[in-house]
Structure 1
Amino acid sequence: MADIKPQPAPQLQPRSIGDLIKGNLFMLIATIFFGVNIPVVKILIPEWMSSVDVTIFRLGGGCILMWIASMFMKNDRIQRDDYLRIFLGGAVGLFLFMYLFNLSLRYANPIDVSIIMTFPPIFVILIGIIFQHKRTSWLEILGIVVGFVGAFLVIVTQHAGEKGSDNILGECLALASTLCYAFYLVILEKPMQRYRPVSMLRWVFLMSCLPMLFLLPSLPKAEIFHTVEWQPWACIAFILICPTFLAYFLINPAEKLIGSELVSIYQYFLPVVAMIASVIMGVAHIRFIQIVAMIVIIIGMLITTKAKRLQRLHASASVATDSTKKTDASR
């Protein structure tokens, strides 16, 4: 299908109750996919596959699905200046995020990993402050500190009956993976606003497959290729179709229907879904400290979200005031 020129992303607001219901439903389904993905990957690692094998399947399979989908959809022509961002977002951000995330589940409790996976919004703010010199408020800093206290509770708490050092390693890897995902979000922020999802994601996944090629020699050794059982293949099918492919196409229209702030709040629902799914699948048990840590991190996220909203409202008020002054001066 012929490419077309990219169109600016429309800033749409919910026009009806139907839009609100539809947007929230899209995000609820996407969040359930992401949450259930965590214990499903834990089932595969290490009994059926290594973390490297799951990374290969997810990136390679996701790339194939994105390019097949692009054959049946309208595609934007990627501007030359954006290819460097897309390369860095795919080969560095997306690849390292998925690799470190899967590696963390080799060692850590899936519920702990799901709690730490609420951290990308905090790291996005920190990257903006440190590298983009964005202004911040004491309320934002407070939210970041509270969020890190929650992560500290997860990482340093002793795990009764488990190998503490392995869990700490897994949780640190999960934290590193959220930093990589935050980098992915920051580096691709402008292209995300400029292009349709499949137009950009097909290239992002393709770029993520470049470093993945170095992992391919280990794939034939995976236990999943030496079994006739259907369960591990069902897990792989779910990982490829639901959290890797469908969820991305649900998030984009949801953001247009209900706004980015409400979409970001669903990130805090992720550990709840992962907790329920992990217990049902029998891969983990809920501990009281996990609930406390999740609540602390969510409070930190809500504080930072509130701070960002106040900052935007203040900026809008300043613009309105300046506009009024200019109008009065011209009279």
Structure 2
Amino acid sequence: MKNKIREANISLVISKIFSGLNMNALKYLLPLWMSPLTGVTLRCTFAAVAFWIIGFFTKPETSTRKDKILLFLLGALGIYGFMFFYLIGLSKTTPVSSSIFSSLQPIWVFILSVLFFKETITKMKVTGILIGLGGALLCILTQKSDDLASDALTGNILCLLSSVAYAVYLIASNRILKNVGVMTMLRYTFSGAAFSGIIVSAITGFDAAVLTSPIHWKPMGVLLFVLIFPTVISYLLVPIGLKYLKTTLVAIYGYLILIVATITSLALGQDRFSWTQLIAILLICSSVYFVEIAENKEK
């Protein structure tokens, strides 16, 4: 069991580091080397193909036709909706701001659970929600558009919506996952997301200068990194962590995305140090602590 726990910890560390670097890689690609909507289609389609190929080499999993249809629809709306808002938002704001809103996902999960599944409300959790929303508002209202963020307000709002969309996906997939295997879920949800992406790209057009001739090796390498590591490997590693680690510890690992994206952004010049961003980050981290960690300690 100790080896499994060690593997789970390592899996989550690697997954969250990839997720943090993903923001910086996508910021480099968008919108110069590909449009946000084309980026969504590429990620979803590549992941769907990859998971179907991997599925052929894994143990068969049982599932009903109803489960598969629900997973397909969940991917077509949930995963595609999350990436739709996320990539468009990231193209307009900075990776640090984007990661701030991604860190709010545990807050949205709790709020949605209260609204639809009668989750217990406590003073500590309400405090955490108010602190988190305060951090989000601080980031939205104070960040100005500049050469690094073409439309910071719109981008931040879209990133906020993406975190809500992903929270909906997490809640729905968690309930469906009780009846199906992980690989089945990944194959059908990303197939649904790829279906939505292909339809949207057929309407709006496919814009990816990175794929045109002559080959641009640096952006091509960055694109391959995005497709392979944050998109495929990261999604494969997360279930390992969820299976063997407590929810509180998984929540703590979510901070790695924020830390990695912030350090890398400042190092690459994709963002500038801002006291308001720092305060927003501290508020978000405090809010997740109250909602996810302090409540469990109290129990």
TM over 0.5, shorter chain: yes
1:224 aligns with 2:206: no
Cα distance in structure 1, aligned partners of 2:141 and 2:281 = 14
Q: What residue is the counterpart of 2:176 in the other structure?
A: 191
* In 2: Cα distance, 1:306 partner to 1:282 partner: 33
Matched residue SS, 2:178? helix
- The equivalent residue for 2:25 is 40
Candidates 108, 112, 135, aligned match of 2:120? 135
Query: Measured at CA, do residues 161 and 180 of structure 1 come closer, stay the same or move farther in structure 2, by a change above 3 Å?
Result: closer
Amino acid at match of 2:8: G
Encode CA deviations 1:77-109: one digit per residue, 9 max, x unaligned: 222342353133201110000111000011111
In 1, Cα distance between the equivalents of 2:182 and 2:91?
Answer: 31
Instruction: For structure 1, list consecutive stretches of 5 or more residues without a partner in the other structure.
Output: 1-14, 314-331
Tell me what 2:137 maps to: 152
Query: Cα 1:95–1:39, aligned 2, differ >3 Å: closer, same or farther?
Result: same
Q: Which runs of at least 4 in structure 1 moved beyond 3 Å after TM superposition? A: 18-21, 160-165, 217-221
Larger CA deviation: 72-81 vs 56-65: 72-81
Code of the aligned partner of 2:166:
Y
1:299 to 286, 296, 299: 286
Q: Which amino acid aligns with 1:224?
A: V
Distance 2:73 2:254 in 1: 24
Deviation at 1:310, TM superposition (A): 5.5
Aligned amino acid, residue 33 of structure 1: F
Q: Distance in 2 between matches of 1:34 and 1:163?
A: 20
The equivalent of 1:27 in structure 2 is: 12
Question: 207-216 or 169-178, which moves further after superposition?
Answer: 207-216
Residue 164 (structure 1) shift = 7.8
In structure 2, runs of 5+ residues without a counterpart are none
Q: Separation in 2 of the partners of 1:105 and 1:286?
A: 18
Give deviations 1:222-280, integer Å, cap 9, x for gaps: 22233421111111111111111111221222223333321121112211100112223
CA 1:140–1:128 in structure 2 vs 1: closer, same or farther (change >3 Å)? same
Out of 150, 154, 158, which is 1:169 matched to?
A: 154
TM-score, with structure 1 as normaliser: 0.84
Q: Which range is displaced more, 107-116 or 78-87?
A: 78-87
In the alignment, what sits opposite 1:262? 249
Structure 2: distance between partners of 1:159 and 1:309: 38
How many corresponding residue pairs?
297
**Bigger Cα Rg:** 1
Q: What is the root-mean-square deviation in Å for CA atoms of aligned residues?
A: 2.0
Q: Percent identity?
A: 28
